Amino acid sequence: MTARRASAREVVALVADDFARFPDPPGGERASAPDGPLGWPGYDASRERAARRTGESESVVCGTASVRGTRAVLIAFEFGFLGGSLGERTGDRLEAAYTYAREHRLPVVPLVATGGSRMQEGMLALTQLQRVARQSALTREAGLPQIAVLRDPTTGGGWATLGAGADVVLALPDAQVGFAGSRVRPPDADPAAYTARAQVAAGAADAVVPPAELREVLGRWLRLLTDGTPRAHRPAQTRAENHGTPGRPAAAGTDAVPGTGNPPTEPPPGSLREPAPVPVALGVADLPRTGWEAVRRARAVERPRARAYLDAYFTHRLAISGDRCGGVDPDGMLCGFGLHRGRTVAYAAQTGAATRPAGYRTAARLIRLADRLGIPVLTLVDTPGAANDAEAERQGAGAAIAELFGVVATARTPITTLVIGEGGSGGALALAAPGRTWATPDSYFSVIAPESAAAILKRPPGEVEATADQLRIRPQDLVELGVIRITEAR
């Protein structure tokens, strides 16, 4: 037996406090024509039955509420009202909700449960998707985050606009999610492909969240993406000079600046802040003596990896997942937002594996979102290079790397980069901020791996180490070349 679906009011109560419902917007004249704009026989009677059954007058309930202390506009679908379908009056309510959010500088949280557009209103219902898409785009341009929660079911145009079009997409475990609803799929379609977990695996949603955890997770996302500062009050987004040097990770869970125990240098009041700098002094003994030693240290199994740095830097963090093009790269790229010393910083971190096209596209997605919201970005470089297998080529490796280069180059929000391990060619450089890149002693950065350079030059294997020296890939070499920045010994 199918479990009873939560109503719109019940799902609002699940995630929020002090919900204040918006009054019905103007547009009641739309109901004056008998049986709607198409004169669909029995449509008025269906609406009346739905209203008696649900206690609602339309398929969405909109209003404001606090979610773990952050005010937001909530849009809750009532599936019991004609399958949560979108009609003209639904569009009226959605437009009014998005307009209110922009006027009051509030994030938007669609709690989606819909079967799609309302057949009884024909093309007039379908065109509401254009209307919703415009409101979402205007809200995006206003620098306000949108966090969708996918309930059961989320299909059709509701998924393709309010759901998949959000900045962060969360889903309940039992949610049926897909553009095609259950009654219009091919008869041999695998039902497992139309689930919340399948959408996360395909990179179309970020996480599956159990109902008991939804309020906490949603509250954390709202806090991270709003950062307590209305975006309209942020200064103009320009790159500021960084005053400090990222360094080694501190013990996880401490509030000390990694590598020092000293607080970071804060920028002047009112300036757009960057990821908190983490100074560290490096003596001669800390640095690799040869190019090959730099390679060996970067490839050492025991050195800290991305997760160690992220765990040390952030009080807590939440991940985004997927490139929204059907791909994920959980083994090669970690992306998300975290809280450091009370403020939000976005991160994109390579893990030491070859980065796949989906990883680059996810990083580009993250940086674009952070740029729009005025959140500084920290990137961690650690990869032997971009994945170079045939499948990576079919997935558009070159285009994905080019996209990331462009996003980093044009971002207005500050981006700070720390090379923590291998810096393998363009696959690493795409994630590095020009003029704002630092390196740890356990790293190197190279135009190409020493082994590959020797092979291209037709040198014997015994000359790989000498080739590494010729490439000048040690951190101190890169400082002399003006490629990276590093502190002087104290």
pLDDT tens string 11-23: 999 999 899 999 9
Q: CA quadruple 299, 301, 304, 310: dihedral positive or negative? A: positive
Concatenating the DSSP letter of every residue in 210-266 gives: -HHHHHHHHHHHHHHHHTTS-GGGSPP-------S-------TT--SPTTTSSPPPP
Q: Single out the residue of 195, 312, 162, 290 nearest to residue 246, CA to CA.
A: 312
For residue 68, give every residue at least 6 positions away whose Cβ sits within 8 Å of its Cβ, in sequence order, or none. 215, 216, 218, 219, 220, 222, 223
Burial of 197 (0-12, 13-18, 19+ CB in 10 A): middle
Cα 289–293–294 angle (5° rounding)?
90
CA dist., res. 49 & res. 37, Å (int) = 19
Strand partners for 462: none
Query: Beta-carbon neighbour count of residue 244 at 10 Å?
Result: 22
Asked if 216 and 68 touch (Cβ cutoff 8 Å), the reply is yes
**Tokens (6 digits) for 163:** 């759901």
DSSP at 268: P
Q: What is the pLDDT of residue 118?
A: 93
Q: Specify the pLDDT at position 25.
A: 80
Mean predicted confidence (pLDDT) in 307-315: 96
Q: What's the rounded Cα separation, in Å, for the pair 398 and 387? A: 10
Report the chain's mean pLDDT, rounded to a whole number: 86
State pLDDT tens for residues 372-419. Answer: 999 999 999 999 999 999 999 999 999 999 999 999 999 999 999 999
266 confidence band (pLDDT: 50, 70, 90): very low
Give the whole-angstrom CA distance, residue 252 versus residue 399. 36
Angstrom distance (rounded) from CA 101 to CA 138: 11
**pLDDT class of 286 with cuts at 50, 70, 90:** confident
The DSSP result for 404-430, as a single string, is: HHHHHHH--S-EEEEEEEEEEHHHHHT
Residues 255-277, mean pLDDT to the nearest whole number:
36
Determine the pLDDT at residue 245.
40
**How confident is the model over 26-85, as pLDDT tens digits?**
755 555 678 999 999 999 999 999 999 999 999 999 999 999 999 999 999 999 999 999
| Residue 486: predicted pLDDT | 61
Of 280-284, 414-418, 472-476, the poorest mean pLDDT is in: 280-284
